[in-house]
Amino acid sequence: MSDKSREAEPQIMNLKPPAAWKFMQEHPESVLIDVRTTYEHLFVGHPPGCKLIPWKDGIPMQPHPDFVGAVKEAVPDPKIPVLFLCRSGQRSMEAAKTMAEAGYRTLINIDEGFEGPLDEKKHRGTRGGWRFHDLPWEQN
């Protein structure tokens, strides 16, 4: 494979929240997309300035009917880095893979997500996540 074709391949990086925050500071053109449900975004909290494009939403949860189109509208240039955030890092990885297939080049899955993994008491926010690392966030 030539160097030129390697450059065209999409990259999906997994970054912990502090590294993702640092990346965003170093790449101010990057866009952070929250793929959680509308209710998670509003009531659990979210990073300031992120764009809400749910991967699944509603009760019962249904896949977004045009997730790719919504991301393309929010980030028209596929060369702009896009970071994806969910509760724990699973939905956001699915979203990143989908956007790689759609031609986006620099994609970042925020490992641990907003709330982090479950602890031994089945609580989130005690072992990782955006809030755990004391990064900027707000709540409605």
The first and second tokens of residue 137, run together, are 């966030």
Q: Is residue 136 part of a domain?
A: yes
Task: Specify if 104 maps to a domain.
Answer: yes
> Distance (Å, rounded) from C-alpha 60 to C-alpha 136?
30
- Domain assignment present for 85: yes
Positive or negative: CA dihedral 63, 64, 67, 69: positive
pTM: 0.91
| Total domain count, the chain | 1
- Tens-level pLDDT at each residue, the chain (140 residues): 445 545 556 779 999 999 999 999 999 999 999 999 999 999 999 999 999 999 999 888 899 999 999 999 999 999 999 999 999 989 999 999 999 999 999 999 999 999 999 999 999 988 999 999 999 999 98
